[in-house]
Amino acid sequence: MSGSKFVYVTYIRTTPKKLWHALTTLEVIKQYRFGMSVESEWKVGSAWKMYADGTLMDSGEILEIAAQKRLVMSWRNEWKPEFKAEGSSHCVYEIEPAGAAVKLTLTHSVDRPDSRFIEAVSDGWPMVMSNLKSLLETEEVALVYHRRHGD
C-alpha cells in the first residue's frame, strides 16, 4: 500500500519531561501553535480537537500514549472540504534523549498516495516545530502567524 508521509526531525535543548509537557499542556500548545486552542484529556481513546478563533480546524483520537516517549493520534482536517474528504491521517511524536538535548521525530502520514492534506501540513509543521524548539530553548516563539480570512 502506497501512502503519503511527512517526517520532521529536530533536536531540542530540553528534557523529555519538559518536551512532553509542551506537547500535552493546552496553555503551552497555544503559544507555539499560533494561538490555536486544543482540547483533550490525553488518554488512549480520548478525543482531541483544535480550534482557531472558535472554528474547529482538526480533530481525532488519541491512539497511543507513552509519557515522555511516544504520542500517536488520528488526525482529520475539519475545515477544508478537500482535505476532510481524504479522511483520517496519523500523527506520531517520538521522543528520544540525545545527550543534553532531546530528539523529536514527527511523522504525519495517510494511506493515500499524493495526499493534498499531507502536502499542506508539510508546509505548516516546520513552522510549528520551529516555534516549539524556540519556546523550549528561549521561552519565546520564533514566528508569529496572522490568520487571514479563509486560511
The per-residue pLDDT for range 82-120, each reduced to its tens digit, is: 999 999 999 999 999 999 999 999 999 999 999 999 999
The string of pLDDT tens digits covering residues 48-84 is: 999 999 999 999 999 999 999 999 999 999 999 999 9
How many domains are there within the chain?
Answer: 1
**Does residue 132 fall inside a structural domain?**
yes
Burial of 28 (0-12, 13-18, 19+ CB in 10 A): middle
* Residue (of 30, 92, 19) closest to 57 by Cα position: 30
∠ CA 100-28-77, rounded to 5°:
110
Could you tell me if residue 144 is inside a domain?
no
Range of the domain at 113: 4-138
Determine, yes or no, domain membership for 84. yes
The answer to whether residue 126 is domain-embedded is yes
89 vs 109: CA distance, rounded Å: 6
Quote the DSSP letter at residue 146. Answer: -
Q: Is residue 148 part of a domain?
A: no
Q: Read off the pLDDT of residues 4-58 as tens digits, 9 standing for 90 and up.
A: 999 999 999 999 999 999 999 999 999 999 999 999 999 999 999 999 999 999 9
Whole-number Å distance between alpha carbons of 18 and 75: 24
CATH number at residue 80: 3.30.530.20
Any domain includes 54? yes
> Mean pLDDT for the chain?
94
